[in-house]
């Protein structure tokens, strides 16, 4: 029996194992990645063991779609979140922070996970303004509306009321995440949220006037050139009205990031197949992997349909880091008004539902119920502290947080498996029952845990 014969047999076995693994993973909606290394065949995937066969074939690494993906931030703009007062006025604008802890998700503004030094609305006006006149140009509010799933939710509602002449942009009000250029780049990121365009978007965009046929959806810019906020690279997703009067998607990578450079378009991709949703809640998703090589990627989808999937370099000439993420922006060359509606923001460090896969209507399964809820009470003269812990839940994508209940009433939310409650008043021998439910990023709620009991 020769060595070559053994190698061929091992390769055959490996091929069979590979097919079996792929079948399992297709059922489980997992991600398959191939990594070539000489001499070893490796299969690794969530819930199964690690196997290796010595041979001459390629290695196979199979990872669960959520095994290495982390939810960095999530907000429904729920109770506890508010728009702060306008501040940092300049001749042509001001800032308006979003503040507070979202009592629905447990996450706090600003978006600290990205090293943000500002998360909120940047108001930019076409004319000089003062604190008493800026409201004539732009209005922002967080307000309750009927949301994407038919229930009452909070949205960030924006309206640009005065802008430049038709065919120019002028005023805008991006929901922006700013970060210092000295803390490094964001190499991989996935962002999703619900948005709604105004009912008259088709007439708001005008093809009879040059450059009056566009509005922006999403954008990022780099910064740090000359140790300033100026950058060397930008990617923008637009809605454009074509010469036939129909709306379509256009995505562009260029060097127009406020740097002192002659404008250059690096790449442009259009999509005339995926429809532009008008006056209805729709899901926007965007992902990028930054690279100066062929492995760079920029991907975006609307309602589960991919509008762009560009592969190739997406760095500028100076390889500057991303410093400004314009999550959503009422900015247009068309007629006023320019409206914007957004809710349900999520930020992840990678594709949460599988490589290159949309999460639209993907996650409909609830997490498992939390296990082993325990309560430790510390009694004082006029109050008691109750420290709760429990076993972490599991989910097909990821657990986003936990709702805490005392005697059946929700009293709080946390993103960890710990929570501290305070019972006020003197001890009366009352029995308190604590339970926990897990939820995921799509608000699928688990069944209730077993109760932990304390007496005070």
> What does the pLDDT read at residue 2?
43
Question: Would you state the pLDDT for residue 33?
Answer: 34
Using a 10 angstrom Cβ sphere, with 0-12 exposed, 13-18 middle and 19 or more buried, the burial of residue 115 is middle
Taking alpha carbons only, the member of 379, 396, 387 closest to residue 446 is 396
| Domains along the sequence of the chain with CATH | 3-63 (no CATH), 71-348 (2.60.120.200), 371-455 (2.60.40.10)
Going by C-alpha positions, the residue among 238, 236, 247, 177 that lies closest to residue 207 is 247
How far is residue 429 from each of residues 232, 425, 455, measured CA to CA in Å? 66, 12, 6
Tell me: the pLDDT tens digits for 59-117? 222 233 445 799 999 999 999 999 999 999 999 999 999 999 999 999 999 998 899 99
Residue 404 CB coordination number (10 Å): 21
pLDDT score at 386: 98
Which residues have CB under 8 Å from 452's CB, separation 6+?
A: 373, 374, 375, 388, 433, 434, 435
Which residues of the chain register pLDDT less than 50?
A: 1-66
Burial of 38 (0-12, 13-18, 19+ CB in 10 A): exposed
Q: What's the pLDDT at 40? A: 30
Radius of gyration of the chain (CA): 26
d(C-alpha 271, C-alpha 239), whole Å? 10
Instruction: State the SS3 of 70-85.
Output: CEEEEECCCCCCEECC
Q: Is the pTM of this model over 0.75?
A: yes
How confident is the model over 156-189, as pLDDT tens digits?
999 999 999 999 999 999 999 999 999 999 999 9
pLDDT of residue 381: 87
């Amino acid at each position: 029996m020769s060595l070559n014969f053994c190698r061929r047999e091992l390769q055959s076995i490996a091929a069979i194992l590979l097919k079996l693994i792929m079948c399992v993973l297709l059922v489980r909606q997992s991600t398959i990645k191939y990594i070539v290394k000489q001499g070893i065949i490796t299969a690794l995937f969530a819930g199964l063991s690690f196997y290796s066969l010595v041979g001459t074939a390629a290695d196979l690494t199979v990872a669960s779609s959520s095994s290495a993906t982390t939810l960095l931030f999530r907000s429904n703009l729920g109770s506890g979140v508010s728009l702060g007062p306008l501040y940092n006025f300049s001749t042509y604008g001001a800032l308006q922070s979003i503040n507070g802890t979202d009592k629905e998700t447990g996450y706090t503004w600003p978006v600290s996970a990205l090293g943000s030094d500002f998360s909120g609305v940047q108001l930019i006006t076409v004319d000089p303004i003062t604190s008493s006149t800026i409201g004539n140009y732009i209005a922002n509010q967080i307000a309750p509306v009927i949301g994407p799933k038919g229930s009452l939710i909070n949205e960030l509602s924006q309206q640009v009321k005065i802008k430049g002449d038709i065919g120019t942009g002028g005023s805008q009000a991006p929901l922006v995440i700013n970060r210092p250029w000295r803390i490094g780049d964001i190499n991989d990121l996935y962002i999703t949220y619900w948005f709604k365009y105004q009912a008259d978007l088709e007439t708001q965009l005008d093809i009879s006037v040059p450059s009056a046929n566009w509005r922006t959806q999403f954008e990022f810019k780099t910064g740090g050139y000359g140790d300033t906020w100026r950058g060397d690279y930008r990617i923008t997703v637009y809605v454009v009205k074509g010469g036939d009067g129909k709306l379509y998607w256009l995505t562009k990578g260029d060097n127009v990031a406020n740097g002192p450079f002659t404008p250059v378009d690096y790449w442009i991709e259009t999509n005339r197949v995926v429809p532009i949703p008008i006056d209805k809640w729709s899901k926007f998703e965007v992902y990028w992997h930054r690279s100066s090589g062929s492995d760079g990627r920029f991907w975006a989808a609307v309602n589960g349909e991919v509008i762009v999937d560009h592969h190739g370099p997406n760095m500028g000439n100076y390889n500057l880091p991303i410093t400004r993420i314009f999550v959503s922006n009422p900015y247009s060359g068309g007629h006023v008004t320019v409206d914007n509606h957004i809710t349900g923001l999520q930020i992840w460090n990678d594709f949460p539902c599988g490589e290159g896969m949309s999460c639209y209507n993907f996650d409909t399964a609830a997490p498992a119920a939390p296990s082993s809820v325990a309560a430790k009470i510390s009694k004082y003269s006029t109050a008691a502290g109750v420290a709760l812990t429990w076993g972490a839940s599991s989910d097909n994508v990821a657990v986003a947080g936990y709702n805490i209940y005392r005697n059946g009433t929700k009293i709080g939310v946390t993103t960890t498996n710990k929570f501290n409650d305070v019972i006020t008043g003197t001890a009366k021998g009352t029995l308190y029952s604590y339970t926990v439910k897990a939820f995921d990023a799509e608000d699928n709620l688990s069944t209730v845990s077993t109760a932990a009991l304390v007496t005070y």
